Chains A and B, each alone.
Chain A
Amino acid sequence: MSFHPKMPYGTGWHRSERKLAELGPEFAYTPENQARFDAIVKRYPPEHRRSAILPALHLVQAQQGYITGHAMTFVAGQIGCTPADVEDVVSYYTMFFTQPVGTYVLYVCRTLSCALCGAERLTEALEEKLGIRAGQTDATGTFTLLEVECLGACDRAPVVMVNDEWHECARPEDAAALVDALRERGTAALTGCHLCVERRNGQ
């Protein structure tokens, strides 16, 4: 997002943009997540608890699916900083959601190596199958389709990340089958990272 007067606004999202998060329901960690947070925060010097903001937010998102205003206030309390400090971080990093997302978030890599191998066609095929555009969630709340930048697996292009797992060499012609397989078998339908020799050999 540009601040230049001649630059039309509303053309997309930029990390320098400020959007206030909705407060959402009350938030507190589950006892397990609280224990995880308490262990993580010890990795940093006591006077630098703020370092634990990113891990704290990952825990929130794992628990609730997205990060609300109440959750930010909660994290601020855990860290000992202001809610604005937390919001500052949430709004910068692309992996944090401030809106609910689908059960499966499909992150299709759109950067050069993947695009050369058909990522644009893959996105089109997924859009067609799901009946949504990139950036949207389908009506059943099952799938969110996102285009993202290089995922660091360009030799197995096009790459799709689904939640935290990988699906490699995703050909456009297999897109519809992938969606069906995800519906049926969940993330077990994904190829995973090709380096998991053990998983491939069934060990």
Chain B
Amino acid sequence: MTMQPILTQHVREPNSFTLDFYLRHQGYEGLKKALALPPNDIIEMVKQSGLRGRGGAGFPTGMKWQFVLKDTPKPKYIACNADESEPGTFKDHVLMERNPHLLIEGCAIACYAIGAKVAYIYIRGEFYHVQLALERALDEAYAAGWLGKNIQGSGFDCDVYVHRGAGAYEAGEETALLESLEGKRAQPRIKPPFPAVAGLYGCPTAVNNVETLCNVPLIVKNGAEWFTALGPEKNGGPKLYCISGHVARPGVYETSMSTTMKDLVFGADFAQGMANGRRLKAVIPGGSSVPILLPDQLDVPASFDGIQKAGSLLGSAGAIVMDDTTCMVWLAENLLHFYQHESCGKCTPCREGTDWLLKILRRIERGEGEMRDLDLLQSVADNINGKTLCAFGDAAATPVLTTLKHFRHEFEAHVREGGCPLHAGWRRRGTAAAAH
């Protein structure tokens, strides 16, 4: 099933990012409508819509807002998560670059709903060109009275600022993001207390992903029922999918969550199947942190619940597609390099474990592994999984656990044959050992 794009309807048109363009396409009507309603009605509406967080966990946004402490003399904050660092994920920057006013409108409505006056958009440091686009849009919004004091004569004040990170995947974790916003290392906090109670500067805060906030103006404008009707039960609304890897047409695709994963990979409207006519080997459906799906597991709706039933997670909806030239030991090594590098170092199982996993994987890939290394991998991964301060630990263990589960024979072949039997032409010429 296909759906007309909504969030990304105009992104390929010239000047789609300007205020003029946005206003010509019913821009800021959601905010206008919201400001005429009591804040609680907005929260209720978002709850009714069933909007689930697009950042990774799929937690209902309305509920998150409802948890934000009401009776407190402290200021409240919206923190928009624009860190977009999950490997395989590249959707939020499309929205920010080509439809920034939608995000700004979403931030303003979110502030109004929870009683905040300031929203910070935390953007990853590598997105400097995106930041410039956002800041240009913010200037326009301020000048036209869609932000600032007494917005459109409503008496509501709201400021939105962009805050630039400086290279740290872990800054995407919500409490680490808040630490980073406070000018510290991006290392997570112990939860509880949750940000809704004690977030930025110890004040009640809602942390929401860019795509999540971009859905809010649509819900306010078109109603909760319209939103739910766009997708399967509990998985309503438009969804952005990022498809990369060995596909013919990688890119960002917007569709309903009733679309199947198989369609996203092979459909004519989507990634159009494998590049170079190769055979599909595996798909990681939700960014690098989730379990692998095999080709025969793809005929399921690419919804939060559908992918979970298939044995993986939708995560950030970043599908990475691999063809049959891909060595799964190499894949685990590549991803563990990522996790070893990005571990924030705050808790032991993750800081030490990712180092060990990478070392063992390198040894096996190089052909110096032994059969008992497979059990060692399993054991180290098991000792990270579920035993860390933040969900990064589980994410780091996953590539090892999932490749061992589905492709144990490839690990064994490396040990038996003393090297990688599947050294594809797109890899380093030397052995993997030459990589640092």
Contact = CB atoms under 8 A, between A and B. Distances in A.
Interface in B140-196: 159, 161, 163-169, 180-186
Nearest to A120: B428
A149 B244 contact: no
Contacts of A203: 14
Nearest to A154: B244
A152 B85 contact: yes
B124 interface: yes
Nearest to B351: A16
A12 B340 CA distance: 11
A123 B334 CA distance: 15
Contacts of A192: 129
Interface string B80-95: 0000111111101110
B185 to A, nearest CB: 4
Nearest to B246: A116
Contacts of B344: 15
Contacts of B360: none
B345 A110 contact: no
Given A96-B166, A112-B288, A50 B251 contact: no
Q: Indicate the member of A16, A54, A81, A107 with the most B CB atoms within 10 Å.
A: A54
Interface residues of A, number: 69
Given A58-B166, A112-B87, A48 B182 contact: yes
Nearest to A118: B426
A180 interface: no
Interface in B318-334: 318, 320, 322, 326, 331, 334
Interface in A1-55: 1-4, 7, 12, 14-16, 43, 45, 48, 50-55
B126 A54 contact: no
B274 to A, nearest CB: 12
Interface size class of B (residues with CB under 8 A): 35 or more
A155 to B, nearest CB: 4
Contact of B338 (A14, A57, A116, A150): A150
Nearest to A56: B183
A101 to B, nearest CB: 14
B15 interface: yes
Contact of B167 (A94, A115, A155, A197): A94
Interface string A166-201: 100000000000000000000000001101111001
A5 to B, nearest CB: 11
A15 to B, nearest CB: 6
16 contacts: A54-B166, A54-B180, A93-B165, A93-B168, A112-B334, A113-B245, A117-B245, A123-B428, A149-B338, A150-B89, A150-B338, A154-B320, A155-B252, A161-B126, A166-B129, A198-B14
